[in-house]
């Protein structure tokens, strides 16, 4: 059996179709062996021999301490760099002194770790609140935790497994010897145990950073997520980390928006800014352009790899580019699911850099600055952000994007004046929102070529949308930075700053934020809102998603819109 060549985009599943596969059948949806827990009939509910804590009593002292505000009290910000309990993989032929890290070269399949504060070019970047400012509000948009492959992403892995376990003369030697006994153990779609821990830790870390803002809450906050299992699971684990496992269910309201692109803006089942895929252009040649660009690169960077690995295979498995790419993806998925993968050590540092760049190309031309529709995909969430910042209710004139009218017009479902907002979404949506916000520093090096990795590259999918990615807007009161004529009080919001995976992002792409007080990335709040309103007016959702246009020249797009 020869493994057929399959488009890379179906393996990676960064295509928007990945968000539409929840009900799609597949001939290979997961592991070939079943893992069922708890055992059938071994439930623990309603067993009087195991009473819950409220029945047992004897809780001891339960004295609640004050809320944490580490970003206002500590001299430096916390830095997330742990991947425990994952085993750090090593590339093939790594030099003893090499510091190369495979887990930061897995594109959007990389696990989140904090980026250095000045990653995006802000001189004295830090997420610590400046001495002359105080936090008044925070906005969080985050990706779900590490998951198994999506349905449809397993096809080549299934073929590898079938070939490796057949009785048709297959034999692997050398570095591929492990394939003789290897079995495919991954599930599909849902969070891995490590992914659950990522979300718990994100919630716990967010409480330590921003918990003091809860003192300003007058009602239970509304946090939003999507209806897919991994999205709900991510949000519940975040809430458990943020509020505590015994109290989270009564400490907030969880709004679950339904992922379905067949509805209308006036129906709860339909539009969602967290899953803004009501966009027909995505099913056209324009929508597949990013995957095609990435595939061109994939065939190039894996050419020598095919020849190097094929000599260790006897029998019916032919290693084409798709198969080898699937092996690299199995390194990523097995590591975050099983803790370790033998596939990681098959590839050199150069091959891992090539793999990482594949994602950069796909994201740039599908959901980043190089896409003609990406700003439109993200602009609905930007509209909601402006509505929250200005406490202005959105009306019918705004409902031409991915906004859901039944949600944003309802003060209970979409409240104002929350000190903390939390929205959970997918990797592609984080990338689209970043594009809609016009973070131009990420596009500073221009369009990405398909024949080489450019020097001074500024756009990296791994820096934008890893598993557990988080985009944070810090709203601050900085009276001393406001004009002398301003009547701003110590509690009035005057400035805003954005952190992408803990690195400060310059706001130079927005009118009024050009100077961006470059030392710390702050922009006057009124200027920021005005800049976003201008950006919203520039983005034509109807044309971008429903227009009849062909694939534009790649070099003509650098801000997520079709050339004007």
Residue 22 has pLDDT above 70, yes or no: no
Q: CA angle, 430 as apex, 212 and 381 as ends, to 5°?
A: 75
Both tokens of 412, joined, read 């209970």
For 216-228, the pLDDT digits (tens) are 999 999 999 999 9
pTM of the model: 0.92
Q: Mean per-residue pLDDT for 401-415?
A: 96
- pLDDT of 266: 56
Residue 32 has pLDDT above 80, yes or no: no
- What is the 8-class DSSP label of residue 482? S
Q: Higher model confidence: residue 21 or residue 411?
A: 411
* Inter-CA distances, 469 with 80, 198, 213, 287, 331, Å: 12, 10, 22, 24, 20
For 131-155, the pLDDT digits (tens) are 999 999 999 999 999 999 988 776 6
Q: Mean per-residue pLDDT for 262-281?
A: 77
Query: Looking at 41-50, 119-128, 143-152, 186-195, which range is the least confident one?
Result: 41-50
Residue 91 has pLDDT above 60, yes or no: yes
Cβ neighbours around 368 below 10 Å, total:
30
Distance of CA 113 to the CA centre of its chain: 12
User: Under 8 Å CB-to-CB from 471, ≥6 apart: which residues?
Assistant: 140, 141, 142, 430, 433, 434, 498, 499, 500, 501
Residue 232 has pLDDT above 80, yes or no: yes
Q: What residue spans of 391-507 are helical by DSSP H? A: 405-408, 427-436, 461-464
Residue 207 has pLDDT above 60, yes or no: yes
- pLDDT of 52: 86
| Domains, in order of start, for the chain | 8-28+73-442+460-539 (3.40.50.1240)
- pLDDT of 34: 60
Q: Mean per-residue pLDDT for 525-549?
A: 96
| Beta-strand pair 253-264/269-270 | parallel
Residue 27 has pLDDT above 90, yes or no: no
Residue 494 has pLDDT above 70, yes or no: yes
Which is nearest to 553 in space by CA: 450, 447, 443, 458?
447
- 478 confidence band (pLDDT: 50, 70, 90): very high
């Amino acid at each position: 059996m020869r493994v057929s060549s399959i488009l890379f985009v179906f393996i990676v599943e960064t295509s928007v179709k990945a968000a539409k596969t929840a009900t799609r059948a597949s001939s290979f949806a997961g592991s070939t062996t079943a893992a069922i827990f708890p055992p059938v009939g071994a439930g623990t509910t309603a067993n009087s021999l195991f009473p819950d804590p409220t029945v047992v009593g004897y809780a001891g002292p339960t004295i609640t301490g004050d809320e944490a505000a580490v970003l206002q009290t500590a001299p430096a910000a916390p830095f997330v760099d742990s991947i425990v309990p994952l085993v750090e993989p090593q590339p093939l032929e790594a030099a003893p002194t090499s510091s190369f890290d495979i887990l930061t070269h897995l594109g959007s399949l990389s696990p989140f770790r904090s980026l250095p504060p000045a990653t995006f070019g802000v001189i004295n970047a830090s997420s610590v609140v400046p001495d002359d400012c105080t936090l008044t509000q925070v906005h969080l948009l985050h990706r779900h935790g590490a998951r198994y492959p999506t349905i449809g992403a397993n096809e080549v892995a299934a073929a590898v497994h079938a070939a490796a376990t057949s009785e048709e003369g297959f034999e692997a030697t050398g570095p591929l010897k492990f394939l003789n006994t290897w079995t495919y153990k991954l599930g599909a779609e849902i969070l891995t145990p490590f992914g659950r821990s990522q979300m718990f830790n994100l919630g716990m870390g967010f409480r330590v950073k921003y918990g003091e803002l809860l003192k300003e809450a007058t009602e239970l906050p509304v946090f939003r997520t999507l209806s897919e299992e991994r999205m709900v699971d991510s949000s519940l684990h975040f809430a458990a980390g943020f509020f505590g496992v015994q109290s989270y269910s009564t400490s907030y309201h969880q709004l679950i928006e339904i992922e379905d692109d067949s509805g209308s803006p006036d129906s709860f089942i339909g539009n969602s800014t967290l899953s803004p895929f009501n966009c027909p252009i995505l099913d056209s040649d324009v929508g597949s352009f990013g995957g095609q660009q990435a595939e061109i690169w994939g065939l190039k960077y894996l050419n020598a790899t095919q020849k190097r690995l094929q000599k260790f295979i006897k029998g019916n498995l032919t290693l084409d580019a798709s198969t080898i790419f699937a092996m690299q993806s199995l390194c990523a998925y097995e590591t975050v699911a099983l803790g370790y993968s033998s596939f990681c050590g098959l590839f050199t540092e150069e091959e891992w850099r090539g793999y990482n760049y594949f994602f950069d190309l796909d994201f740039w031309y599908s959901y980043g600055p190089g896409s003609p529709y990406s700003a439109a995909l993200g602009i609905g969430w930007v509209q909601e952000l402006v509505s929250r910042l200005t406490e202005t209710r959105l009306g019918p004139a705004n409902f031409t994007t991915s906004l859901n009218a039944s949600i944003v017009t309802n003060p209970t479902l979409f409240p104002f004046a929350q000190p903390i907002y939390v929205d959970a979404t997918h990797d592609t949506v984080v990338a689209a929102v970043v594009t809609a916000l016009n973070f131009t520093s990420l596009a500073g090096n221009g369009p990405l070529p398909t024949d080489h990795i450019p020097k001074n590259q500024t756009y990296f999918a791994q820096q934008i949308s890893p598993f557990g990615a988080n985009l944070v807007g810090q709203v601050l009161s900085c009276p001393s930075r406001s004009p002398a004529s301003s009547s701003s009080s110590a509690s009035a919001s005057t400035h805003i700053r954005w952190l992408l995976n803990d690195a400060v992002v310059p706001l130079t792409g927005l009118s009024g934020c050009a100077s961006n007080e470059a030392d710390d990335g702050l922009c006057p709040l009124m200027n920021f809102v005005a800049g976003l309103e201008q950006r919203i007016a520039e983005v034509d959702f109807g044309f971008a998603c429903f227009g009849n246009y062909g694939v534009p020249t790649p070099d003509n797009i650098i801000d997520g819109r079709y050339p004007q």
